[in-house]
Amino acid sequence: MLRKQLLIALGMVAAVAVCLLAARHAMGRHSAAGMATADRLALAWRWLLVPGLCLLAGIGSTANQRFLRADAIDGGAAKGPGFLEINLRYNTNTLEQTVLAVIAWTGLALNLAPQNLGLIPTLAGLFAAGRVAFWIGYLYAPWARAFGLGLTAYPTFFVLAWLAVRLIA
C-alpha cells in the first residue's frame, strides 16, 4: 500500500507542477481590454466545449462497449473490473469535473482582469490532457489515474477557492 501511496503522491505533485507552470504561462497574455460581460461569458462557454467533448468520448466508448458485449447490452451494471467499469467511472468523474468547471470558468470569466482571461483556454487544455491521462492511467492501474485527476481537478479547486475568497472579501 505504501508503494501505491507514494506513486499517487508523485502523480499529484507532478500535476500541481504542470498546472502552476501552465497558469504562469497563461497569465497576462490575453489582449481583451474592455470586453463586455457577454463576451467574457462567451469566451468561457466556448472553451467549455472541451469538457463536453471529453464526456462525449466516454459516453461513446461506453455505448460501443454495451453494443458489442453480450453481458452489457441490456444496460446493467458492469460485471467486475474491466474496460466497461473503468469507462463508467471515467464518465461519472468527468461529469463531476465538468459541472465544477462550468461554475469555475464562468466565475473566472466574470472576475479575472482582461489580460488574464487567457487562463480559461489554458484550463481547457489542462482539462483535456487530464482526462486523457486519467482514463489511460486508470486502464493501466487505479493508482495511475492520480496525475490526470490532478490536472483536471486541482485548477478547478483552486479557482473555486479563489472565487469563494473574492465573494466573502
Residue 77 is predicted with a pLDDT of: 72
The residue among 119, 146, 143 whose CA lies nearest residue 15 is 146
Residue 99 is predicted with a pLDDT of: 98
Residue 31 is predicted with a pLDDT of: 67
The residue among 14, 36, 44 whose CA lies nearest residue 120 is 44
How many residues does the structure list for the chain?
169
DSSP-assigned letter for residue 34: T
Number of structural domains found in the chain:
1
Q: What is the residue range of 72's domain? A: 2-168
Report pTM: 0.90
CB atoms within 10 A of CB 27: 16
Which residue is listed with cell 507542477? 17
* Domain containing residue 137: CATH number: 1.20.120.550
The residue among 16, 52, 54, 30 whose CA lies nearest residue 108 is 30
Residue 142 is predicted with a pLDDT of: 83
Residue 109 is predicted with a pLDDT of: 95
Show the cell assigned to 118.
Answer: 487567457
Q: Compute mean pLDDT per 10 residues along the chain, 169 residues long, and list them.
A: 88 89 80 80 96 97 82 70 86 97 96 91 97 93 91 96 93
The residue among 97, 81, 68 whose CA lies nearest residue 157 is 97
